[in-house]
Amino acid sequence: MRDIFSKSWKKELAGLRISEDLKKYTTFKIGGPADYFFTAKSKKDIIKAVGVAQDLKLPYYILGGGSNVLVADSGFRGLVIQIANQELECRGREIHCGAGLTLGALIQKSLNQGLAGLEDLSGIPGTVGGAIYGNAGAFGHFIGEKVKTVWVLDPKHSQVKVYTQKECQFGYRESVFKRNHNIILDADFVFEPAPDKKRILKKIERAQAVRARHPYKNCAGSVFKNIPFHGYARLSWLRQIFRQSRGLQSEGSSEKQGERFLKNVPSECVQYGEIKAACLIEKLGLKNKMMGGAAISEQHANFIVNKREAKAKDVLDLIDLVRKKVYKKYRIVLETEIQFVGF
Ligand SMILES: Cc1cc2nc3c(=O)[nH]c(=O)nc-3n(C[C@H](O)[C@H](O)[C@H](O)COP(=O)(O)OP(=O)(O)OC[C@H]3O[C@@H](n4cnc5c(N)ncnc54)[C@H](O)[C@@H]3O)c2cc1C
């Protein structure tokens, strides 16, 4: 590969690596090399790296802890910027931290300060930036609930901007940053005082006990999103797109249609206002289904595990199989939660 970085750019991005294997930066342990790889240890580093990529007209990808991504076998043609700014500061009930801090470190800090609010999320791997991007959550709580402000780099206008919680437009595994591709630099959180530490520790123990029953290594968490069933119209719409992509006739969109296909869903798969993707997959008998080196987990049907040096293609094949079977049986189109790099 031609090295397009001049000496002066390399000086700007100290520690820049060439043809860096991305496998080791993801929890899936899958994927080929990035042409260039840079670890940004400060906000300034992040802004500099994005600027350099733009000047060189080089595609770039923002990587956090790599716990929610599938990297292509061919890797990424461009610069991967690993976000690793980990500043952390407490001011009363507020905590300010860098996007590259681990979510675990933020939660631990809040507990040390006698604060609470994100303990249900303990055990979710990855960074604060990655968690804000996808509004990570567990047990009915989401990181967005505790966000006060988020500082981002708007790469299009080369500007640092501030978003309030409302402006972040948090939803189920959604934030505005998934759509506007702004880069999360740091954030302020507001916690609650936690006089009853025992209660908080109990919550953490509960979370840990549930997580102990799920796979932890060589996976990327839930592959598919659950389906909130207040969104009938959205489901009908997704279904239409799916039909169109397969050259089938459109059915038109209506709330009634949504209700009709909910009837296909086993009642035990509907919990807390959503259809559980794991339950649908399990009902289809797909646990342990293996393609190449990847398998649907025996412990949790919404997890795909890299069992034996799996390729990204093996994971994609499994995703395709699951989506087809779920659609055939339940008339539901599953959306992926994991993000795809280099495809
Ligand atoms: C064992 C296991 C259990 C999990 N359990 C849960 C769970 O209970 N709940 C849950 O919600 N998730 C869960 N996940 C998924 C994952 O941990 C979360 O989505 C996590 O928040 C991703 O953070 P990350 O730093 O690893 O992001 P990455 O995987 O590195 O990136 C994910 C996406 O975020 C973008 N991104 C990352 N940082 C930034 C930034 N600073 N600015 C802009 N974009 C950015 C990336 O470009 C990418 O598109 C689990 C994963 C594993 C492996």
Mutate to test the pocket of ligand 1, among 68, 182, 343 (most ligand atoms within 8 A of CB): 68
CA distances from 275 to 81, 254, 265 (A): 35, 19, 8
Tell me, in angstroms, the distance from the centre of ligand 1 to residue 282's CA.
24
Q: Which of 304, 298, 306, 299 lies closest to 323 in space, CA to CA?
A: 304
Residue 131 Cβ < 6 Å to ligand 1: yes
Place of tokens 């659609």: 327
Q: How far apart are CA 237 and CA 228, in angstroms?
A: 14
Tell me, in angstroms, the distance from the centre of ligand 1 to residue 65's CA.
7
Residue 219 Cβ < 6 Å to ligand 1: yes
Reply yes or no on whether the pLDDT at 157 is more than 80: yes
With a CB cutoff of 8 Å and minimum separation 6, the contacts of 277 are 222, 224, 225, 226, 227, 302, 326, 334
Q: In the predicted model, what is the mean pLDDT of residues 117-137? A: 97
Does 98 or 238 have the greater pLDDT score? 98
Residue 155 Cβ < 6 Å to ligand 1: no
Q: In the predicted model, what is the mean pLDDT of residues 135-143? A: 94
| DSSP character string of 300-337 | -TTBEEE-SS--HHHHHHHHHHHHHHHHHHH---PPB-
Do domains 7-83 and 227-341 share one topology? The answer is: no
Residue 67 Cβ < 6 Å to ligand 1: yes
pLDDT of residue 240: 57
Tell me, in angstroms, the distance from the centre of ligand 1 to residue 99's CA.
12
Does 74 or 271 have the greater pLDDT score? 74
Q: What is the CATH number that goes with domain 7-83? A: 3.30.43.10
Ligand 1, atom nearest to 219 Cα: 53
Looking at this predicted complex, what is its ipTM? Answer: 0.99
pLDDT of residue 266: 85
pLDDT of residue 54: 95
Q: Residue 120: enclosing H or E segment and its boundaries?
A: none
Residue 31 Cβ < 6 Å to ligand 1: no
Q: In the predicted model, what is the mean pLDDT of residues 230-256? A: 57
Determine which residue's CA is closest to atom 45 belonging to ligand 1. Answer: 130
Evaluate whether the domain defined by 227-341 bears CATH number 3.90.78.10.
yes
Q: Which of 70, 182, 92 lies closest to 132 in space, CA to CA?
A: 182
Q: What is the CATH number that goes with domain 88-212? A: 3.30.465.10
The pLDDT tens digits of the residues spanning 249-299 come to 555 545 555 556 567 788 888 877 788 999 999 999 999 999 999 999 999
The pLDDT tens digits of the residues spanning 327-341 come to 999 988 999 999 999
Ligand 1, atom nearest to 220 Cα: 53
Reply yes or no on whether the pLDDT at 126 is more than 90: yes
Tell me, in angstroms, the distance from the centre of ligand 1 to residue 16's CA.
23
pLDDT of residue 168: 98
Reply yes or no on whether the pLDDT at 219 is more than 50: yes
| DSSP character string of 190-204 | E-EE-S-HHHHHHHH
Band of the pLDDT at 236, cuts 50, 70, 90? low
Q: How far apart are CA 220 and CA 318, in angstroms?
A: 14
Q: How far apart are CA 335 and CA 173, in angstroms?
A: 11
Q: Residue 201 corresponds to which tokens in the numbers above? A: 């520790």
pLDDT of residue 91: 95
Q: In the predicted model, what is the mean pLDDT of residues 91-98? A: 97
pLDDT of residue 239: 63
DSSP-derived 3-state class of residue 146: helix
Place of tokens 């923002």: 62
Positions marked catalytic: 173, 222, 337
Residue 39 Cβ < 6 Å to ligand 1: no
Q: Where are the chain's structural domains? A: 7-83, 88-212, 227-341
